[in-house]
Structure 1
Amino acid sequence: MAEEIARNAHLASTVLKTLSDKQRSDALHSIRDALLHSKDSILAANRKDMQNAVDNNLSSSLIKRLDLSTNGKFDAMCDGIIDVAKLEDPLNKVTLATQLDDGLDLYRLTCPVGVLLIIFESRPEVIANISALAIKSGNAAILKGGKESLNTFQAMSSVINDVLQNKTDVPDNSIQLISTRGEVADLLKQDSYIDLVIPRGSNALVKNIKENTKIPVLGHADGICSIYLDKDLDVSKACKIVVDSKTNYPAGCNAVETLLIDKHLDKSLETQILKSLLDAKVTLHISPDLLSQIDESLLKEYVDQITPASEDDFRKEFLSFDIAVKAVENVQDAVLHINAHSSKHTDAIITENDKTADVFLKGIDSSGVYWNCSTRFADGFRYGFGTEVGISTNKIHSRGPVGLEGLVCYYYQMRGSGQVVGDYLGGGGTRVFKHKSLDPSSVIL
């Protein structure tokens, strides 16, 4: 069964990539319209999943990720599909052009990765996000949702499958949505047909997938994001940024989990920043050495929100109104701590000192490094990618929020007029290559 699913996806991908941008974009408009038309039934299914999650005592962070009904999440999901449709066609772009010799030209063109296997937990909007990105980028996709979102998954799958099969030019099996757990292990073995696995979920999920497949894996496990408060900061900026990074959506992988404070930061400014977090109902897990120096008034007023931190707290994704706090000697010390403890997701510095910021921006080994802004900006929609399939902390192929650009690769196309290698130096002949660079933007194929 798994082999058949993978093979069908591969065959569909060979047709999907030949469709015009208009055909692919029109399909996205049809999906969006159908989802909006079925909004009530999809949200009813989502409420069942939410209730099941509560009944089974699932974590509050998982329940928040599962919810499609609050803060305009459903409508935003649908708008994201149109945002993707409006993006420039990522396929068949000439990124290199070289005249090897008269009548012998070499081009490098963008093309789809092929077949994507996306395995995700909790977030049902992933179905719409990835379906849109896959179709726009010419990739076939196999999607497997978690059991906690099963009702929502089935409701959305029914709508999307119906649209693709009856109202678009997208070939059958371009988007396949599966809900049985047993197929995943077998799909991970289908390296002959599946080109990339994208897991979205817990650390345990990602590790399990990486250990059980030969297929390349793109994604991240934890989102252990840090903010460094430099001694030369603007306190009003610091308070606003730190509170937003922690409380705007604490269940997000781009929420800050660690706060590093320069030991030379004025104590009154440090107190203001910590108080802004405490007033926002955040619990501070403070390292023992720093805790002994905290303003007594804070310890008395917020006794239930201040606790000693363990070393494990600085390698932890809280996903809640909790943050680990530690003092460091300087920016170099902050860089060393973050590179040793972070998950290479997104880290930020708050400072008015350009030179200090430059040390941080160049020294941090993460997919996103920010200066004087919230870590919550680490998001495909906010980057202008329309949406994203996930955030990658890999160093090969794609890093950070992965949108259309991260779902295409390239191939080389050569156009000749009868040339053979035997005519050239190195192949037995005497002709010399010209290797003349051409302007890719002027090439029309």
Structure 2
Amino acid sequence: MSKGAEEIAKAAKSAFEASQLVSSQERSDVLLAVKAELSRQKELILEANKKDMEAAQAQVAAGSLSASLVKRLDLSSGDKWDSMLQGVVDVSKLPDPLGRVTYSIALDDGLELYRVTCPIGVLLIIFEARPEVVINIASLAIKSGNAAILKGGKESLHSTTALANCVRTALSQSRLPDDYIQVVQTREEISQLLEQDKYIDLVIPRGSNALVSHIQHSTRIPVMGHADGLCTVFLDESADPTKATRVVVDSKINYPAACNSAEILVIHSSVLDTVWPKVAEALVSAKVELRCDERTLAAIPSSVSHSGLVKSASPSDFATEFLSLIMAVKAVDTFEEAVAFINAHSSHHTDSIVTESTPNASSFCRSVDSAGTFVNASTRFADGLRYGFGTEVGISTGRTHARGPVGLEGLTIYKYMLKSGGEGGHIVGEFGTGSGKKSYKHEAIVGRLPF
């Protein structure tokens, strides 16, 4: 008999509470055990993934699933499998994010206050398509001291089950409870889990804006949103043609189905007849469909415009996450117009400028309101693995304590620890402004937590 939502949530909270004295080394050892189990079960996992892929491809043929979702589903594509395993190892080697003193002060002789990093608690993570997210999040949760309940998309059912079994096997060999990482499968379970604010501390939806919005309106639990990636590259009036071509093409074609691939290209009107034709030719050579506004369309060479890959843009193209080889293109007359356009159309994920102007680079990074603002670099660099986080839960476009790729640090919060070394302890009644009252010292303390 399967567990009910309240039982699942309660088990996660109990597992979290029981895990707090498990050492950092033990947590890292669990991650290495996860990696070993994944390697041992590789054939079974890829066979399960093949079942999901076949079912997904049938849905694509029937018109009920997008091809980009199928690409995200495939564990065998490129170096995805090896990257998943390397991510586990990388997380295991990262410094312990817990117990770090971020503020320390003496309130009085022998009365010391410390702000110390600690886990958030029980995480409910809901994601679409990518089965490797099970391992990414389980690794981060284990290392950061958080229990987690995971829900993948129905299209990855076989894959996520096989991966979750590896995690559970590794947990069974440690002091961490078996229910420290749990996987649920149905939408009904999620609806009920969203009501468990007594036991679940944070919900992290990773998927479309529709998914994030639905979750935010369906729960009293705090939500850290991981939504669409409407990323933009802006070519300013000083853009170098070679840099522009390399950055734009990589931002679009390196992995079009990723949330950090560029969907919009904004071009300063002064380079429409110089830089833009070279970039357009390179994009079309890479089989990218260009949806251009009137001015960028007029500036495209005839050899490119006759490729069958150039079309007139509609307003909706500048608000669409294509997740495929399609790019919307817009011309602007000023730097300020570009920034205003990006802030109005971006999903506040990652945006990049190609420029030789240091003032423009500085202004862009400060005035574009996104989690990542890049200079002369592909938007595809927006990734926890590339940032040195080992892996990530996702990329937050919100304004909570975590923004951009959310790794270990994003899964921690802090608590205040106050320690009295006084003979009779300390009481507030001894402090004040009257006669015989003590004043607070508020002197900085240098050193580590003394207990």
On whether the aligned pair clears a TM of 0.5, the verdict is yes
Per-residue CA deviation, residues 88-109 of structure 1 (Å, 9 max, x unaligned), is: 0000111111000001010000
Q: Could you say which residue in structure 1 is the equivalent of 2:291?
A: 285
CA positional deviation for 1:294: 3.1
The amino acid of 1:6's aligned partner reads A
Q: Could you say which residue in structure 2 is the equivalent of 1:42?
A: 45
State yes or no: 1:150 paired with 2:153: no
Superposition pairs of residues 178-217 of structure 1, within 5 angstroms:
178-217=184-223
Superposition pairs of residues 33-432 of structure 1, within 5 angstroms:
33-57=36-60, 58-165=65-172, 167-265=173-271, 267-300=273-306, 302=307, 304-416=308-420, 417=422, 418-425=425-432, 430-432=437-439
CA positional deviation for 1:159: 2.1
Q: C-alpha distance in 1, partners of 2:358/2:98?
A: 39
Per-residue CA deviation, residues 398-444 of structure 1 (Å, 9 max, x unaligned), is: 000000000000000000121111111169961111000122x4554
Q: C-alpha distance in 2, partners of 1:237/1:292?
A: 23
Per-residue CA deviation, residues 141-192 of structure 1 (Å, 9 max, x unaligned), is: 0011111000111111222212212x11212311111113211000001111
Q: C-alpha distance in 1, partners of 2:178/2:314?
A: 53
CA positional deviation for 1:332: 1.0
Per-residue CA deviation, residues 233-292 of structure 1 (Å, 9 max, x unaligned), is: 111111011100000000000000000000111613221111111111101000124323
- SS at 2:351 equivalent: strand
Give the number of aligned pairs.
441
Identity %: 51
Per-residue CA deviation, residues 347-398 of structure 1 (Å, 9 max, x unaligned), is: 0000011011111111000000000000000000000000000100111210
The amino acid of 1:54's aligned partner reads Q
Aligned Cα root-mean-square deviation (Å): 1.3
Q: C-alpha distance in 2, partners of 1:391/1:279?
A: 30
Q: C-alpha distance in 2, partners of 1:27/1:122?
A: 26
The amino acid of 2:96's aligned partner reads D
Structure 1 428/38 Cα, relative in aligned 2: closer, same or farther at 3 Å?
A: farther
Q: Which moved more, 1:100-109 or 1:269-278?
A: 269-278
Q: Which moved more, 1:107-116 or 1:427-436?
A: 427-436
Q: C-alpha distance in 2, partners of 1:346/1:390?
A: 13
Structure 1 411/45 Cα, relative in aligned 2: closer, same or farther at 3 Å?
A: same
- SS at 2:248 equivalent: helix
- SS at 1:231 equivalent: coil
Per-residue CA deviation, residues 39-69 of structure 1 (Å, 9 max, x unaligned), is: 0000000000000001111211100000001
Q: C-alpha distance in 2, partners of 1:158/1:428?
A: 66
The amino acid of 2:44's aligned partner reads S
Unaligned runs of 5+ in 2: none
Per-residue CA deviation, residues 283-342 of structure 1 (Å, 9 max, x unaligned), is: 100012432343334323x2x100000111111101010000010112111110011111
Conservation of the 8 A alpha-carbon contact between 2:224 and 2:400: no
Unaligned runs of 5+ in 1: none
Conservation of the 8 A alpha-carbon contact between 1:231 and 1:266: no
Q: Could you say which residue in structure 2 is the equivalent of 1:21?
A: 24
Q: C-alpha distance in 1, partners of 2:434/2:368?
A: 47
Q: C-alpha distance in 2, partners of 1:46/1:296?
A: 44
CA positional deviation for 1:231: 1.2
Conservation of the 8 A alpha-carbon contact between 1:422 and 1:429: no
Q: C-alpha distance in 2, partners of 1:438/1:325?
A: 55
Q: Which moved more, 1:115-124 or 1:168-177?
A: 168-177
Per-residue CA deviation, residues 5-29 of structure 1 (Å, 9 max, x unaligned), is: 1111111111222210011110001
Q: C-alpha distance in 1, partners of 2:151/2:435?
A: 54
Task: Output the TM-score relative to the length of structure 1.
Answer: 0.97
- SS at 2:344 equivalent: helix
Conservation of the 8 A alpha-carbon contact between 2:272 and 2:299: no
Task: Output the TM-score relative to the length of structure 2.
Answer: 0.95
- SS at 1:369 equivalent: strand
